[in-house]
Structures are given as structure tokens and as C-alpha cells.
Amino acid sequence: MTIISHSEEETKNAGRELARRAVRSSVISLRGSLGAGKTVFAKGFAQELGITEAIVSPTFTLVQEYEGKMKMYHLDLYRLSGEDEFESMGGEDFLYSDGVCLIEWSEKISSMLPDDTIYVNITINEDLSRTIEITGGAM
């Protein structure tokens, strides 16, 4: 599925749409450059799950946990050195949890991602719109 977003609200709407299809134990890889809209997408996803807390990129804490219709784990691996560090922090528990797991900068643990991972690639276009490509999983 490919979506062209012209605003933060449209990016949030794409996140809401994916959340409607998500099931417990879904792993969602959010990929894109800095400022592409990964956290904005996560905000829309969380809203659809009924999460009312402010969603911020967990760059310094690595993981934020939220309660909604189902538990949501939001990971930001930007500062992580790689798979060994992810393993040592118990990261695999999030990949096989009872909630849904959204991972920014999942490229750092590519080989650890489950086979049914849903990939959300966000690209900034020349006109500053975003191309959001959703693949994998049941897409």
C-alpha cells in the first residue's frame, strides 16, 4: 500500500488506518530519515488504540510503553549500537509481546525482526510531501 501525505494530519491518518488492522503481537518497523514523520505516524497509530498520553520519540529512554485498546511499545533504536545491545536490554521481549511494537530505526536489528513484520517506509519528497509505503505482514 502506498500513501502520499501532504500534512501531519494525513500522516497521522495513515497511522490510524494501520492501527485498525493491527493485532496483538504485531511488529511494525518505522523507517525513514530524521524528520520524515515516523513519530507523527506513531501518534496517529496510538490515537486509534485509544491512547491519550502524549506520544514522543523515545530516543533517550529507548522504549515507551502505553496502555490503550491493546498495549503499545514504542522503541527508538537511533542511539543503539546494534543487535548485541538490543539483546542485552531484553529487546526480544518486545518483538514477541502481548501488545503491538512500533520500532523506529529498526534497520539496526534487521535480522532479528519477525518474518511477519510490517514495514512502514516514509520518504520525504521534493515538494515536502511524504510517500508512505506499507509492506509485509498481512498487507
Going along the chain from its start, the domains and CATH numbers come out as 2-136 (3.40.50.300)
pLDDT band at 5 (very low <50, low <70, confident <90, very high): very high
Q: Average pLDDT for residues 80-88, to the nearest whole number?
A: 89
Question: What separation in angstroms does the CA of 2 have from each of 14, 16, 59, 139?
Answer: 10, 15, 27, 11
Q: 126-135 burial, b for 16+ CB within 10 Å, e for fewer? A: eeeebebebe
Mean pLDDT along residues 27-50: 94
Per-residue model confidence (pLDDT) at position 56: 79
Label the pairing between strands 63-66 and 72-76: antiparallel
How high does pLDDT run on average in the chain?
Answer: 91
So what's the pLDDT on residue 59?
Answer: 63
| Across 23-48, average pLDDT | 94
Full strand arrangement of the beta sheet holding 118-124: 2-5, 130-136, 118-124, 27-31, 100-104, 72-76, 63-66
Confidence at 139, pLDDT banded by 50, 70, 90: very low
Judged against a pLDDT cut of 80, whether residue 57 lies above it is answered with no
Q: Which amino acid is at 82?
A: G
Instruction: Identify the band that residue 89 occupies on the pLDDT scale cut at 50, 70 and 90.
Output: confident
Instruction: Report CA torsion sign: 85, 116, 47, 1.
Output: positive
- The Cα diameter of the chain in Å comes to 41
Q: Model-level pTM?
A: 0.90
Per-residue model confidence (pLDDT) at position 138: 57
Q: For the beta carbon of residue 111, count every other beta carbon within 10 angstroms.
A: 5
Percent of the chain whose predicted confidence (pLDDT) is above 90: 71
